[in-house]
Structure 1
Amino acid sequence: MKAGQVKLYDANPEALNLLSETKLQVSIMVPNREVSSIASNQSKSDEWVNQNVLPYYPKTSICFLLVGNEVLSDNSAQGQKIWLHLVPAMRRIKRSLQTQNITDIKVGTPLAMDVLETTFPPSSGTFPSRIRDAVMVPMLEFLQQTNSYFFIDAYTYFPWSSNPNSISLDFALLRGNFSITDPVSGLSYSNLLDQMLDSLIFAMSKLGFPGIRLVISETGWPHSGNIGEEASGANIFNAAMYNRNLIKKITAKPPLGTPARPGVFIPTFIFALYDENLKSGTGIERHWGLLHPDGTPVYEIDLPGKRATSDFASLPPPKNNQ
């Protein structure tokens, strides 16, 4: 498949050892359950880096160290306690790396699109007051000071599937056959992903941080639901169409960027490499993979973006797009 980067949702020793034999850039993650203890204790942070980074780096090319996963999406009482611990934990992890003279691993945290209060039109993008001053401003200060990235999980599938009568499927699949203009900024959008990313860029700009770069830490499209479960739009045709169009967009040279930030390359992780057949939840939660659990491809994909669309074998027509 010729991937250039891989993202782990932990710091699995076996995986990190195997990845040392590759040229892949690797992203590792501090679990949510450890964020609070690291935030309150520099020794805990040092211990985490000593155990999960030093044995593997630089032989394993760790490029991103992510603190937690979608922490701000957990609205439970316990989850909200962690909100205020997130940025202090990021600072401590960065300090632990600096103590070891490791300067080229970027520290960040992946957030979901629900971190924004408004996203449409993109120029209206804002962070909600409950996290704006207490969490987002110090986080953006940290990212700017350390020249790191804002990691965003951006799925066009979810806004489309919840409102298919108002959002065109082609717009969500990045097919680029028509455009929508933001009435305030005057910027023109040919796909939903650019709208989503620019709403974040506008939200950061309103807080005084217009230049922080983005990484799409998750995106993709489900290719199936459970047997007998009609998950609207979750089919092989749409999944292949989305991911192929995504690859074409992010590998374009020169970089395309977004309407609000043209010409800027956006590192992107497709979710997921494998289907998660043992995962709980609805059927679509288990069917985002490029590969089946046995390693066979769900559909043809070319991650470097060298193959023309016409080179791929034909796909079964979608039957559940309504």
Structure 2
Amino acid sequence: MRKLKNSLKIHSLNKIKVGTSMAMDVLESSFPPSNGTFRSDIAGPIVKPMLQFLSRTKSFYFLDVYPYFPWSSEPKNINLDYALFESRTITYTDPVSNLTYTNMFDQMVDSVVFAMKKLGYPDVRIWIAETGWPNAGDIDQIGANIYNAATYNRNAIKKLTAKPAIGTPARPGWVLPSFIFALYNENQKPGPGTERHFGLLYPNGSNVYGIDLSGETPDSDFEPLPKPDNNEPYKGKIWCVAARGVNASELGSALSYACSQGNKTCDPIQPGKECFKPDSLVWHASYAFSSYWSQLKQTGATCYFNGLATQTAKDPSFGHCKFPSVTL
């Protein structure tokens, strides 16, 4: 960052701020917010010099804030309305700072504020580099739906564009410049389904839901939102099968990859075995995907295969061929 700043200065571009985006995983502790602490492995050698630079150049600490992730990992312990800025009666009071919180977003931001304070930089400004909520996801990804995404983003925009500025409990009245993530659903992005569904727009440019980035449009002026149907954890079995209409050549390569991972992933689809018939590429790939995913999901494997696979709650097993599954 110093080199970038020096280069800008050489070209008399003195008003451009230099910074870098940080996720919440830079914190070793974030609860309660007053206990916010940077990870010990990066606090001294990385974060403190960065904060010194940001303070000296009057730049921003760019922060990614996604209440969806802590909520979805602990939906029984974190109230959904609290995560969506919808809480009317649920609050949390930090036992050390005595600050009262009405939403998860403020709680997360202030944990970074307190962490910076511990390193001696209580006044470095924060810019929300990313925040948002997924409008869809995989079967096993709770709460990823259009209703929640629209609710979160509309409420976030109202808070962040309010005049006078609201700030957070630890920084009341401070302006929080922010970016909503993302403009488009990134339909070719790898990883879990939510990674492809944070957009305000579909890839063809149409709206996923109504939104006003000025925060001035009342919710009643938007079209009604579809009711959420996955705000509770899915219970049951899930299979990973070949998606419809995919390229045969690419599917063949993905099948080869799944079968090359060992653990007898594809033994049942070998000639003469119980899952060989029907002898089709889609059938064999579907079995291989389910077998691969069921064995390796716990180590981070996903049901994606470069967009060639999809999850299903309908058992694809046929006759004597039983497809492996993931049970939630």
Q: Would the aligned equivalents of 1:126 and 1:199 in 2 still touch at CA under 8 Å?
A: yes
User: In structure 2, which of residues 210, 214, 217 is the aligned counterpart of residue 300 of structure 1?
Assistant: 210
AA aligned to 2:169 is P
Distance in 2 of aligned mates of 1:280 and 1:267: 29
Paired residue secondary structure (2:144): coil
Counterpart in 2 of 1:247?
Answer: 157
Counterpart in 2 of 1:204?
Answer: 116
Is 1:179 the equivalent of 2:107?
Answer: no
Alignment of 1:93-242 (within 5 A): 93-177=4-88, 178-226=90-138, 229-242=139-152
Distance in 2 of aligned mates of 1:250 and 1:276: 25
* 1:258-317 superposed Cα distances (whole Å, 9 cap, x missing partner): 000000110111110000111111111100000000000000000001111221121111
Paired residue secondary structure (2:61): strand
Distance in 1 of aligned mates of 2:6 and 2:71: 41
AA aligned to 2:196 is R
Counterpart in 1 of 2:187?
Answer: 277
Counterpart in 1 of 2:174?
Answer: 264
Paired residue secondary structure (1:117): strand
Distance in 2 of aligned mates of 1:292 and 1:230: 22
- State the Cα distance separating 1:231 from its structure 2 match: 1.8
AA aligned to 1:316 is P
Paired residue secondary structure (2:215): coil
Is 1:317 the equivalent of 2:252?
Answer: no
Q: Would the aligned equivalents of 1:230 and 1:320 in 2 still touch at CA under 8 Å?
A: no
- State the Cα distance separating 1:225 from its structure 2 match: 1.4
- State the Cα distance separating 1:186 from its structure 2 match: 0.2
AA aligned to 1:186 is N
Distance in 1 of aligned mates of 2:221 and 2:174: 28
Unaligned runs of 5+ in 1: 1-89
- State the Cα distance separating 1:211 from its structure 2 match: 0.4
Distance in 2 of aligned mates of 1:201 and 1:119: 10
Instruction: Calculate the TM-score normalised by the size of structure 2.
Output: 0.70
Q: Would the aligned equivalents of 1:255 and 1:265 in 2 still touch at CA under 8 Å?
A: yes
Paired residue secondary structure (1:108): coil
Distance in 1 of aligned mates of 2:170 and 2:231: 30
* 1:196-254 superposed Cα distances (whole Å, 9 cap, x missing partner): 0000000001111000000000010000114xx24200000000000000001001110
Distance in 1 of aligned mates of 2:87 and 2:156: 11
Q: Would the aligned equivalents of 1:235 and 1:320 in 2 still touch at CA under 8 Å?
A: yes
Q: Which has the larger radius of gyration?
A: 2
* 1:54-78 superposed Cα distances (whole Å, 9 cap, x missing partner): xxxxxxxxxxxxxxxxxxxxxxxxx
TM superposition outliers: structure 1 runs of 4+ over 3 Å: none
Q: How many residues align?
A: 231
Unaligned runs of 5+ in 2: 233-328
Distance in 1 of aligned mates of 2:189 and 2:118: 38
Paired residue secondary structure (2:28): coil
Distance in 2 of aligned mates of 1:176 and 1:310: 19
Distance in 2 of aligned mates of 1:212 and 1:94: 17
AA aligned to 1:295 is G
Distance in 2 of aligned mates of 1:191 and 1:119: 14
Instruction: Calculate the TM-score normalised by the size of structure 1.
Output: 0.71
Paired residue secondary structure (2:97): coil
